[in-house]
Structure 1
Amino acid sequence: MDTPSQTRRALVTGAAALAAYAALPRAGFAAEKRSPVVTTTNGKVRGYVDGEVNVFKGLRYGADTGGARRFQAPVKPEPWTDVKDALAYGAASMQTGKGEDGETLSEDCLFLNVWTPAKVSKKDGLAGSSLNDGGKRPVMFYIHGGAYNGGSGSSPWYEGTRLAKRGDVVVVTVNHRLNAFGYLYLARLFNDPTVADSGNAGQLDLVLALQWVRDNIAAFGGDPGRVMLFGQSGGGAKIATLMAMPAAKGLFHRAATMSGQQVTAGGPFNATKRAKLFLDKLGAKDLAALRALPAEQMLNGLKAVDPVAGSGGVYMGPVLDERSLDRHPFFPDASPVGLSVPMMCGNTHDETKGFIGWDASTFPKTWDEVIARLPGQFNARIDIDPETVVAFYRRTYPNYSPADVYFAASTAGRSWKAAIIQDEERARAGAPAFAYQVNWKSPVQGGIFGAPHTIDIGLVFGTLDAKGSIVGTGPESVAMSNTMSDAFIAFARAGDPNGGSLPKWEPYTLPRRQTMVFDTTSRMEDDPRGAEREFFNRVPFTQFGT
Structure 2
Amino acid sequence: MIPHSIPEPKDYVDVAIKQGRTRGFLRGSVLRFESIPYASGERFAPPSPAVPFQFFFGDPSTTTHRQSLSVTCPVDAPPSIIESDFHPRANAGTGSTPTDGTSPGAPVIVFIHGGRYEEGFADELWYQGVRFAEEGFVYVSLNYRYRFEGFLPLVDEQRPADIDPSIDPNTEPEYYRGAEDIVVALQWVRDNIAAFGGDPEQVTLMGQSAGGALTAWTLCNPRTEGLVHRAVILSPGFPREGWPSREHVARALLGGPLTTKHLSRLTPDQLQRAYRRFARIYRTDCAVGPYPFRPNQMRDVPLLVGTLREELVQMPFARALDKHLSSKNPLVRQPAKVLARYAERALQARVRWASENPVGMAIGDSAIKRWAVAIMEEKRDTTWAYEFHGSQSAWHCADLPLVFDALKVAPKTVKYFCGESAAERLQPLATEFHGIVARFARGEDPEWPRYGSRRLVRRFDTDGAARGEVTREVAEDAYQQIREDYPELYPRY
Q: Same fold (TM over 0.5)?
A: yes
Alignment CA distance shift 1:417-1:218 (3 Å): same
1:329 pairs with 2:294: yes
Distance verdict in 2 for CA 1:489–1:287, change over 3 Å: closer
Which one of the candidate residues 429, 440, 455 is aligned to 1:491? 440
Query: 1:433 corresponds to which residue?
Result: 383
2:203 equivalent among 227, 239, 243: 227
Match of 1:146 in 2: 115
Partner of residue 352, structure 1: 312
Work out whether residues 157 and 463 of structure 1, in 8 Å CA contact, stay in contact via their aligned partners in 2: yes
Tell me the secondary structure at the aligned position of residue 57 of structure 1. strand
Structure-2 change in CA distance of 1:55 and 1:358 (3 Å):
farther
Q: Distance in 1 between matches of 2:188 and 2:158?
A: 25
What is the 5 A alignment of 1:57-72?
A: 57-63=34-40, 65=41, 69-72=42-45
CA distance in structure 1 between the partners assigned to 2:483 and 2:289 by the alignment? 29
Cross-structure match for 2:146 = 178
Tell me the TM-score normalised to structure 1 length.
Answer: 0.73
Q: CA deviation at 1:475?
A: 3.6
CA 1:433 to 1:103, structure 2 compared with 1: closer, same or farther past 3 Å? farther
- Name structure 2 gaps, 5 residues minimum: 328-332
Residues 123 and 47 (structure 1), Cα distance of their counterparts in 2 relative to 1, 3 Å cut: closer
Counterpart contact for 1:343–1:434, Cα < 8 Å: yes
Task: Verify the 8 A CA contact 2:313 2:319 in the aligned structure 1.
Answer: no
Structure 1 CA distance for aligned equivalents of residues 360 and 432 of structure 2: 26
The answer to whether the Cα contact below 8 Å between 1:148 and 1:317 also exists between their aligned partners in 2 is: yes
Q: Which amino acid aligns with 1:141?
A: V
**1:353 touches 1:452 (CA, 8 Å); kept in 2?**
yes
Query: Structure 2: how far apart are the matches of 1:122 and 1:214?
Result: 16
Deviations 1:225-269 (A, max 9, x none): 11111111000010111111111121111111101055x997xxx
1:525 to 470, 474, 487: 474
Asked if residue 110 in structure 1 is aligned to residue 87 in structure 2, the reply is no
**After the TM superposition, which of the residue ranges 295-304 and 213-222 deviates more from structure 2?**
295-304
1:452 aligns with 2:452: no
CA spacing shift, 1:377–1:452, aligned 2, 3 Å: farther
1:542 maps to 490
In structure 2, distance between residues paired with 1:422 and 1:486? 23
Which residues of 2 match residues 329-478 of structure 1 at below 5 A?
329-330=294-295, 334-335=296-297, 337-339=298-300, 341-356=301-316, 363-364=323-324, 365-366=326-327, 368=334, 371-375=337-341, 378=344, 380=346, 382=348, 384=350, 386=351, 389-390=352-353, 393=354, 403-427=356-380, 431-440=381-390, 447=392, 450-467=393-410, 468-469=413-414, 470-471=417-418, 472-478=421-427
Instruction: Give the alignment partner of residue 9 of structure 2, picking from 10, 14, 24.
Output: 24
Query: How many Å apart are 1:465 and its aligned residue?
Result: 2.3
Unaligned runs of 5+ in 1: 1-12, 30-34, 90-101, 321-327, 394-399, 442-446, 499-503
- Is the contact between residue 66 and residue 144 of structure 2 (CA under 8 Å) also seen in structure 1? yes
Q: Hey, what's the Cα distance between the residues in 1 that align with 2:159 and 2:484?
A: 47
- Per the TM alignment, residue 473 of structure 1 is displaced from its structure 2 partner at its CA by 4.8
Q: What's the TM-score, normalizing by structure 2?
A: 0.80
Q: CA RMSD in A?
A: 3.5
Alignment of structure 1 residues 242-321 onto 2, 5 Å: 242-262=218-238, 271=243, 274-284=246-256, 287-304=260-277, 315-319=287-291
Shift of 1:75: 0.7
Distance in structure 2 (CA, Å) of the matches to 1:314 and 1:473: 29
Do the aligned partners of 1:265 and 1:329 also contact (CA within 8 Å) in 2?
no
For this pair of structures, how many residues does the alignment match?
Answer: 448
Partner of 2:330: none
* 3-state secondary structure, aligned to 1:36: strand
Q: Percent identity?
A: 24
Q: Distance in 2 between matches of 1:540 and 1:236?
A: 20
